[in-house]
Structures are given as structure tokens and as C-alpha cells.
Amino acid sequence: MFEYFPGNYVWNLGVVATLNSGGLIDEVDRACRPIKEAAAQGEDAGTPDFLRAWTALTDQLVGQAEEAEKAGHTRTAGQLYSRATNYLCQAERMLAHSDENRVPTYRRVLELAQKAFDLQDTRITRVAIPYEGTTLPAYFSAAPATDAGPAPVIILVNGLDSAKEHMYSSGHWAELAARGISCLMLDQPGTGEALRLQGLTARIDTEVWAGAAVDFLEARDDVDADRIGIVGWSLGGYFAPRAAAFEKRLALCVAWGANHNWGAVQRRRLEREGERPVPHYWEHVLWVWGHDDLETFIEFADGVHLDGVVEHITVPFLVAHGENDRQIPLEYAHRSHEQAVNSPRRELRVFTPEEGATEHIGLDHLPHVSTVVADWVADVFADLLTRSRS
């Protein structure tokens, strides 16, 4: 992995994620150069400096975007707003839950993303999925194929610390769209806007919110209801397989980073084994799951695993994992794959250092993993369509 800040894994992961989600090396370097000393103080200490530096870059791009928009250069403005969304969203991800800047920064991320959609990515719309008396926020990318009729769709779900704006910046929705597949980028409970602005915390029984998403999609006339799949990255490697195991309307599942036993990983992290994804880690984890005591939370987290769960997956199932994932052991990828005995098409794809994408969810070469996943999804959906016609 490209390590801009030697010895600071968490900050390096943010930089690499940014660069592999449409960020430009010159812009990222100009933002990061002034905070090298802060990075050396550890992953937690310098996060206010990180926010200030990356907000300054965001402000510069927004100024350029506004000038371009006034001049009628909408494509240029859209590109600038899109990159600004990427930069500010990554900076917001680093903040502690208790930081007073967190919510205002995220609200600005939402505004920038909408400007990018309005000017550049007009096939992406904001939607709300009915869920237990409220709604779940999401972005829906309507593939060009929907112009001719209903198209298959992927429900893309977050991990522990991502948001639907990270999904947008990743461009995975565009890879799917190019293959005739729409994408619902979902902030499920415990993630993104659902957590930050609505206070909806994560739950073990992910099939509940996944079922709500399927209900929403089945009601759309541009969706092929027989070809709705789910893809989850990072902790989504638990969320998505759990959902597919018990929500039987899902037609396929991808664990983009196996998270077979997340509870066991937490016990390792208490012992400082392995790397952690974000600064202020335990504060973040308790916020996500709606707990206020670490000791009782660790006991609760023991229930976040897929033993006895993936056996219930009866649809095609892909496990994609980096050989050098420093957060989630590679053995978990093998465990999820081996236990999915009732999947008619179970596959394991391990990314090696030689090809790249070997770190956590392939953030060191994210576009490579994105295309591998998109190709697999397209092949499975094509096969399902052929079978339904025969």
C-alpha cells in the first residue's frame, strides 16, 4: 500500500481510499503535506489538523466549481464537486463521534454530492426506503438499460465507517451501470446518514433492513425484481451474507472483504492485534452499535459472526478478500467460503500483492476489485436471466 504517512496505517488507508476513488495525487499531496508532523503523533491526535487541511482543499475546489458553473461549464463544475465530495467525506470519516464538526461537515458532504449529481451524474437520485416508521437514505443509480425496461439491481451496503458518499466516489455504481445493472447505495442502520443524522444504530439481524430495501426496489417499475443482489464491503462482509442467508428474495451475494467473525476481531483489537480502520476506534464502534459500555459491548459483539449463518445462503455467493488484509484475517474468507455449502455457485477470490488490491477491501487498488466484482455480478445476473427463459 502507498504509505504517505509512514507508520500511520489509518491515515494512509484514508489517503489510498481517496486516490483510488477519483482523488488526484497533486490535490491530495497539497492537502497532506502540511500535516505530516501531525500524522506522526498517532492516528487520533491529529484528526482536527486532517479536517482543516482537507477542508481547505475542498474550499478551493468548491470555489473553482462555482466559477465554472457561472461560466456555463457544467461538466467541469460537476467534476470539481464530485472530487470535493470525496475529499470532505474522507476527512469527516476520521473525526470522533464527539467532535462538534462531525455533523456540520457531513451535512456539507450531502450538499456537495447533490451538486455533483445535478451537474454531472444525473442518473443518480436521492431516495428514501420506508423502514420501521422512518426511512433509510440512499442513492439510486438507474443504469442506462432502464431506458428500455426493468434492469437488475445491486444493493450496495456500507461497512463500519463508510457512507453512501464513499460508494458514490468509488465509482462502483458506474461499473455496474456499464454492465446494465442499477445500484442502490444504501446507508443502512449504523452507517452514513442513517447514523449521523437519524440516530439509527446497527443491528445483528441485517435481513430486516435488507428486506425493506427489497420491498422498495420491487415497487419500482425500472427494477427486475427477480434479479436483486446485495454486495457489502468491509463490515458489509458480515451484513450482506447475513441478509442473503435469511432474505430469500435476494438473488446473489458478495462479501467484499470477508468479515466472518467480527466479534472475535474486536477481542483481538482489545489486545492491539491487527490494524483498526478509523481513529477514535472504540468511541466510533460504540456509537455505531448504540452501546455506551465497552465491556458489555464486547460480550454483545460475540454475536456478530456468520458461523451457522452462511449455510443458509442458497444463491450464488462470492467472497473477495485481500491476501494482506491487516484488519480482517484471510482465514475468515476461507471460512465463509467453506461454510456456504448450500450456495449453488460459491467462489473465493483472493487478491495478491503481485496484482494489487491485497489490503483491506482492496483499497490499495480499489478499481481492480470493483471490476472483478462487477464482472462476477454481471455473469450471475446473465445466467439467471438465461435460466428464467429456458
Torsion of CA 244, 247, 169, 120, to 10 degrees: 140
Provide CB contacts within 8 A for 291, sequence distance 6+: 297, 300
Contact between 251 and 227 (Cβ < 8 Å) = yes
Backbone dihedral angles phi then psi of residue 27, each to the nearest 5 degrees: -65, -45
Cell matching residue 296: 458489555
**Cα gap 180→235, rounded to integer Å:** 27
- State how far the Cα of 281 lies from the Cα of 94, in Å rounded to an integer: 10
Q: How far apart are CA 94 and CA 350, in angstroms?
A: 28
Active-site residue flag, 21: no
- Fill in the amino acid letter for 331: E
Catalytic one of 162, 169, 234, 343: 234
Nearest Cα neighbor of 266 from 231, 245, 307, 235 is: 235
- Conformation bin of residue 257: beta by default, left when phi > 0, alpha when psi is -120 to 50: left
Grid coordinates of 302: 460475540
Distance CA 180, CA 140 (A): 14
Are 210 and 235 a contacting pair, CB within 8 Å?
no
For the annotated catalytic residues, the residue numbers are 234
